[in-house]
Amino acid sequence: MNRLGTAAGVLVWLLQCQSGSAQPSISSVANSASYSTSVAQGSIFVVFGFGLGPATLVQTPTYPLTTQLAGTSVKVVAGGTTFPCPIFYTSATVLAAVLPSKTPVGEGSLTVTYNGRTSFSVFIRVAKSAVGIYTLTSSGMGGGIVTGDGYVTKSLLHSARRGEIVTAWATGMGPIEGSDADVPTPGSIFNAEVFVGDRSAKVSYAGRSGCCPGLDQIAFEVPDAPQSCVVPLSIRTSGGSSNFVTLPIADGAQCSNPPPGVPTEFLTRATNGEPLSIGHFSIGPVSILQGAGFSFVQGLAAQLSRALHARVSEADVSRLVRAYRVGNMAQVRRTMAQFAPQLKAADPRTRNVIRAAISGDSQGAGARFGKSSGIGVLTAQLASDFPGAGTCTVVQNLPLGGGIKSSALDAGNTLTVDGPAGRKTMTRIASGQYQALMGTGVSPTSTTTGLYTISGTGGANLGAFSVSLNITSTLVWTNKAAVNTVDRTRPLTVTWSGGPVPGYIVIGGATRSSERAALFICAEDSRKGTFSIPEFVLSALPSAAGTLFLAPHPMNKQVQVPGLDLAFISEGSYDARDVAFQ
């Protein structure tokens, strides 16, 4: 095409965008409650994208739902047949609709048409059952929408009582015989299991709600589970497990038993939408701290530059560490080839420093401080990722964000860390983030025992502080050698020695198949030395190769820092092995 033709094409495209008639674009399709990419027959799903509908959201005014709303229509093609979808609401960036119950199970495609222009089709996976529980944060994580008498939603202020009949609100239980566009006839027509904490609950109803198309209700009796603000709750059907949400249980009173490291007041304030200031200190192997969100690339680049007497960029360090971790030594050699003269002249001690830096065989200290607003989703994620002692949760999808906004907090130009390797300066690598390298040749999985103290003189936002962590023993997974494969249909017992006392440990695992990934986390008092991972937790993971690990709980020790609402100091170490989930 010549330049004139190209310019004309761009002009036409711009005019279409300005007039609101651009072709709709779909970014994702998911269950409207859990945001799982599997969409069940007869369930409510959401479509995210651009140009899907009018700038202002339009909701259907009455039932039955129609297959066209404010110029928007949605169609699914599966098994060679086209199925128009009844629409709940539509807008430019998101719409919600019901997948017809007669849509064939398997692979399909979905398109959105707005004002006569149709999007490119996207892949959709249709399941017979793929239940998702609605949450208070509309993120698929955190507090589930569970109601009791009078349809009062269970919350930190109005917790559930053991023995009470409550109702979880969900979608994706399965197809129905009647209309998917009109209010369905109630009836307990689905087989479902409910798990609360580490207990199975008695189900009294599992079927469509008489309220709305595609909406499911699951009524169950709250079992004699441990009382906590964040008791894990999940539902299992023939299609697998739902998202894991939380249910506060405190016999109807205000909840006062939060998970380790998260005060009840903090949970309440976050739920109320108050802006909160948070700090996190961590000490341990650099490779582990980087996995926890602390970046040591800048410090490693400076260390390598000093050792080689040449500039090593942060990009070089990232490539080296990433290649070394996956065993790609050819990539390591290619990246280091540019420093061949310096390597040839390096003495053995310098070579050891270089090797340790590349392999992550270094120990470090990190700190970060920030003030967040709209952190209901973030708090929900913390509560979901780290359940109460004796319980487990499963994370299968990332939260959508929920309006999280944060700003860094200044704690001064530098901090100091004192430990077994002496005193080190923690430099500010970015606004609100500090780090220090504390020596090489240490264990790549455990932190050197001893007393560590991080202190600062204060800055524009935070006052002077001094926080300490005394690491007295290394956590050891004592029956690790006996665990080669994980039978997902049976409980798995793990045993350990050492770890923080008093304190908690987390037992977890992760696996990824070609279709999905999942992570489970359990928490237990470190003094117990044993924990049995329930079968319903393991069965929620896909069958694939993965990892099991034990680690000190990252929120074991809360500390006080002037200017912060919550701060904790943690030990970054773990004991793990690769396993096969079958």
Which residue would you say has higher pLDDT here, 193 or 338? 193
pLDDT at 411 over 90: yes
Tokens 């005394």 — which residue? 470
Least confident of 98-112, 114-128, 310-324: 310-324
Q: Which amino acid is it at 171?
A: T
Residue 57: what pLDDT?
A: 97
Question: Per mean pLDDT, which of 156-165, 191-200, 281-290, 342-351 is the most reliable?
Answer: 191-200
Percent of the chain with pLDDT over 70: 89
| 501 confidence band (pLDDT: 50, 70, 90) | confident
What's the helix, strand, coil split of the chain in %, to 5?
20, 40, 40
Residue 326: what pLDDT?
A: 65
DSSP string, 68-86: EETTEEEEEEETTEEEE--
Give me the phi and psi of 456, to 5 degrees please.
-150, 155
| 387 confidence band (pLDDT: 50, 70, 90) | confident
C-alpha torsion sign, points 5, 8, 12, 17: positive
Is 311 exposed, middle or buried, given 0-12, 13-18 or 19+ CB atoms closer than 10 A? exposed
| 471 confidence band (pLDDT: 50, 70, 90) | very high
SS3 label, residue 112: strand
Q: What is the mean pLDDT of the chain?
A: 87
CA gap 388, 264 in Å, rounded: 13
Structure tokens at 153: 């939603």
List of E strands, 228-312: 228-237, 240-241, 245-249, 276-285
Q: In what order do the strands lie in the sheet with 58-59?
A: 25-31, 44-50, 94-98, 87-90, 58-59
Residue 329: what pLDDT?
A: 80
CA gap 263, 101 in Å, rounded: 44
pLDDT at 375 over 70: no
Q: What DSSP designation does 222 have? A: -
Query: Residue 72 to residues 45, 166, 482: CA-CA distances in angstroms?
Result: 15, 37, 57
Percent of the chain with pLDDT over 90: 59
Whose CA is closest to 565, among 274, 171, 200?
274
Give the pTM. 0.83
Residue 318: what pLDDT?
A: 75
SS3 label, residue 180: coil
Contact 363, 439 (CB under 8 A): yes
Residue 330: what pLDDT?
A: 84
Give 414-470 pLDDT, tens digit per residue: 999 999 989 999 989 889 999 988 876 667 788 889 999 999 999 999 999 999 999
Residue 131: what pLDDT?
A: 97
CA gap 102, 80 in Å, rounded: 13
Residue 402: what pLDDT?
A: 44
Structure tokens at 14: 């711009």
Report the residue count for the chain: 582
Give 6-51 pLDDT, tens digit per residue: 443 433 333 333 444 579 999 999 999 999 999 999 999 999 999 9
Residue 454: what pLDDT?
A: 98
Least confident of 203-212, 284-293, 469-478, 555-564: 284-293
Residue 13: what pLDDT?
A: 33
| 356 confidence band (pLDDT: 50, 70, 90) | low
CA gap 245, 448 in Å, rounded: 36
Find the mean pLDDT for residues 339-352. Answer: 78
Find the mean pLDDT for residues 212-227. Answer: 94
pLDDT at 207 over 90: yes
Whose CA is closest to 82, among 63, 62, 100?
100
Give 139-177 pLDDT, tens digit per residue: 888 889 999 988 899 988 889 999 999 999 999 999 999
Which residue would you say has higher pLDDT here, 270 or 568? 568
Give 59-68 pLDDT, tens digit per residue: 999 999 999 9
Q: Which amino acid is it at 527?
A: R
